[in-house]
Structure formats: C-alpha cells, structure tokens
Structure 1
Amino acid sequence: MPLVITVRGEHESWHAAERGIVHLSVAIDGPDRSEVFDAAMQSSGRVHALLTQLASNDGAITRWSSDTVRVTSQRPWNNAGEQLPLVYSAAIGYIARFRDFDALALFIEYVSAVDHTTVTLVEWELTEEATRAALADARHLAVIDAYTKAREYAESVGLSEVTTTAIADPGMLADVGPGSDSAGSGARASLRMMGAPGDGGQLALKPEKISVAASVEARFHAS
C-alpha cells in the first residue's frame, strides 16, 4: 500500500514597480459657500490642467480620473458645547496612474504648491500583463516546491517512487491546514520619499519591490 504524502508548496518573487498611482485631494473649508466653491475649483483647475497635459503630450500618465466637486455644510461645536456658525467644505479627489516615475515626482512637487491640495497616497504596482506572467510563474514554482518536498519526505523513509494524485488551491485538501491565498500580488507597496518640495532639490521616489506569491496544496503516493 503506497504512503500518502500531503504537502503545501509555496513560491514568492519580488519585482520592480512599473506603475505609480497617485491619490490626491483638493479640499477647503470656510464660512462662505461661494468662496469655498470658487477656491476649490481654482485649485482643481490647476491640477486638472497638469494631468491633461501629462496624459496627452508625453504619455507619462496612462490614465487618470477625478470626482465631481462635493460641497457640504455643518455647524461644529466648540469645547464649551456651543454650536458655531455654519462651515462649508468643498472636496475633489484625483487618481493618476504614472508610467514615468520622474514625471510622477515632478507632479507631486508641483501639486504640493497648489493651494488646498494634498497628496494622500502613492501606490506601486505591476502592469496587468506582468502580473499575470509573474503569477503563472509563481504557481508553477509552487507546484515544483510541493513535489520537491514530497520527494524529500519519501526518500527520508526509504521510498523512491513519487506519484502526484492531487493538486489544489489552499484549503481544498481537507487534511492540510489553512494557509495563504493561492496567489496574491502585493502590488500596493508603500511610498518612500527622499527630499521635499522647496529644499533645493528634486523630490525622489523609491518604490518598494512588489511581492507576487503563490501557494498550492498537493497529495502524492510514494512507494
């Protein structure tokens, strides 16, 4: 009767980012609705013009999008429990996807000087094509890892013939404990910024490497 061996195979690889995604917002508060709206639209117009130029002229941006301006109002309370006069808030959000990281750095420098504008997040990712290729490679190598483990286990008890009987995503073989997802791309690496606008030098961005990982479960018969 063959020995049953059930294992998990894993593989993780690291890749240089190919796209940078900038999230930014234009936001302003004030007591006058018209002034708040006009100020938000003025700052938004400067951001919009730059994004349009980058997208059309040199292809530094692959795509971008924006919200419509949102104007809200509220009457805040002070520490004494007194309700204060009405305050109006206007906000517009933008997301821009860059292929040119130098242009991304210059864009951040520019918008940092635009009134009421804040860069809230920069993310990094691979292209869809590169992600698919990296995942396929990771899955392949995860299966090889599982087979290698099974052979080593078999050889440790004096068996030499190993036959694959099942390969599954994590959690689908009942006698293997819970594990990570079958394939996950950690394509949202954190922002690292060196320098700052106004310090006399250009802002430099250094994205973290992007992790692409796969995990499989496999069952073998050894004899």
Structure 2
Amino acid sequence: MEITVRAAAQGRRVPEIAVLTVRVSRESANQQQAASAAHTLMRQLSDQVRQIQADRPEIVDRLVVSPVGTRSWRPWNKEGKQLPMQHESSGRVQIALTDFDLVARLTQEWSGVDGLNLSAPHWELTEQSQRELETEVTTEAVKLCRRRAQVMATASGFDQVTPLQVADTGLLERPQAEAAPAPMMARAGAASAADEGFDLSPREIQVRIQVEARFRAD
C-alpha cells in the first residue's frame, strides 16, 4: 500500500541585520534647483553612510546608493486649472547594519531632516543563519511527514513505512488525471513596522516550509 502525506513546519530566529532605506527628495518649479538640492542632500547622506562603512566595516552588511533621478509633471488645482510644471529629483540609500543601537540613532537623526523620507527598518538574518534555519525547518517537515505516514500505516495494519518520494508541495508526482494543488512556497521575513510607526524592536524572522511525501507501507 502507498501512503501520501503533507506536513508543514515553522521556525523563528531573532534577526541579526536591520535594513534602513532612506529616500532623498527635493521638489521645485525649477528643474535645476530641484536637481541641485537633491544632489547636495544625497551627497551629504552618502558621505555619512560611507564614513560609517569606513569606520566600522564589520557592522555594515551592505550599502547601496542609487543615482538621483528627476520626474516632471503639471499639477491641477481644485478648480481644474493646470498649474506650471513641477519637478522632483530623488535618490535612495540603503544600508544594512548589525548594530541595532546605531540603527536607532540614525533613525532618530534622519527622521528630522527635511527632504529625507525614512522607511521602517526591515529585519533579516545573515545568509548562513537563513540557510541553517531553512534546513532545520525542512528537516522537521520531512520528519512530520514520516510520523504521519507511520500512524496511517499502523492504523491500516502495517508495521513500517519506506519513503518513495519527498517534494515541495505541488511537485510530488501524481496520476495524470489528478490535478496538483497550488504549491506553498517557503517564506521568510518579518512583519513590517510601517503601520505601527517607527517601532525599532527587532522583529523575529519566520520561515514556514510545507512538503509532501509518499511512502510504501509494509
């Protein structure tokens, strides 16, 4: 007899990296003024984060500085009249840090600067920790499948089960006429603090993995 089962496991870890994303934005009716103001502010911000990287490279997981770009449009007033052209120049800086005290200080500092728009921190694990967590959760999901299959086999009068196939949900081979369900993907992430203001408490990283397995009962 063959037994097909599905099981899911979940794991959590305290984050190790906080990612801060800052958008520089300056707007003006004069395109050159908007661009000049944005480039000045962007240069100040870039110099600051690069100095952090130079002084304490061990706490900077990554640093990305995007170029300044400009968009233009003609707004409308409440009476439906088209107003003069407006221009906005903007750029973006993203820095990932392992020092959460510094994250708190930078958040407080940048939140008070005109022209800087700071997103709530995004929490991550290091690549090694992420792999370790996914390995642990996958292992547990497979073990759960085997235990579930063994329970079914015992209830059906069989002594043991032998694995035939193990796969992510939706990838297990099925008879051609049987439709496979939509796969459940492994996911990892942390809840955003954007809807709660700037909550700087590290948010646990969660990984949930679901697998399917087929066993032969003997």
TM-score normalised by structure 1 residue count: 0.86
Question: Displacement, 1:111?
Answer: 1.2
Q: Give the whole-Å Cα distance in 2 for the aligned partners of 1:15 and 1:179.
A: 25
Runs of 4 or more above 3 Å deviation: 175-179, 192-196
* Counterpart residue number, 2:215: 220
Q: Give the whole-Å Cα distance in 2 for the aligned partners of 1:194 and 1:76.
A: 31
* Counterpart residue number, 1:75: 74
* Counterpart residue number, 2:189: 187
- Kindly provide the CA deviation profile for residues 21-50 of structure 1, in whole angstroms up to 9, marking residues without a partner as x: 111101121112232222212322221122
> Do the aligned partners of residues 162 and 195 (structure 1) sit closer, same or farther apart at CA in structure 2, a change above 3 Å counting?
closer
> Do the aligned partners of residues 177 and 156 (structure 1) sit closer, same or farther apart at CA in structure 2, a change above 3 Å counting?
farther
Q: Give the whole-Å Cα distance in 2 for the aligned partners of 1:92 and 1:105.
A: 22
How do 1:8-157 and structure 2 match up within 5 A? 8-59=6-57, 60-157=59-156
Q: Give the whole-Å Cα distance in 2 for the aligned partners of 1:88 and 1:193.
A: 29
Q: Is the 8 A contact 1:29 1:87 kept in 2?
A: yes
Q: Is the 8 A contact 2:120 2:194 kept in 1?
A: no
CA RMSD of aligned residues (A): 2.2
3-state SS in 2 of match to 1:83 = coil
* Counterpart residue number, 1:201: none
- Kindly provide the CA deviation profile for residues 104-149 of structure 1, in whole angstroms up to 9, marking residues without a partner as x: 1111111112221010242111111111111112111111110000
Q: Give the whole-Å Cα distance in 2 for the aligned partners of 1:155 and 1:187.
A: 38
Q: Give the whole-Å Cα distance in 2 for the aligned partners of 1:61 and 1:24.
A: 16
Q: Is the 8 A contact 1:162 1:221 kept in 2?
A: yes
3-state SS in 2 of match to 1:205 = coil
Q: Is the 8 A contact 1:169 1:216 kept in 2?
A: yes
Structure 1: give runs of 5+ residues left out of the alignment: 197-203
Instruction: Give the partner amino acid of 2:184.
Output: S
Instruction: Give the partner amino acid of 2:60.
Output: I
Question: Displacement, 1:61?
Answer: 2.1
Question: Displacement, 1:211?
Answer: 0.9
Q: Give the whole-Å Cα distance in 2 for the aligned partners of 1:193 and 1:51.
A: 26
Q: Give the whole-Å Cα distance in 2 for the aligned partners of 1:186 and 1:49.
A: 32
Q: Give the whole-Å Cα distance in 2 for the aligned partners of 1:66 and 1:213.
A: 32
Q: Give the whole-Å Cα distance in 1 for the aligned partners of 2:184 and 2:71.
A: 43
Identity %: 27
- Kindly provide the CA deviation profile for residues 162-186 of structure 1, in whole angstroms up to 9, marking residues without a partner as x: 11121122112226644412xx242
1:158 pairs with 2:162: no
Structure 2: give runs of 5+ residues left out of the alignment: none
Instruction: Give the partner amino acid of 1:76.
Output: P
Instruction: Give the partner amino acid of 1:43.
Output: L
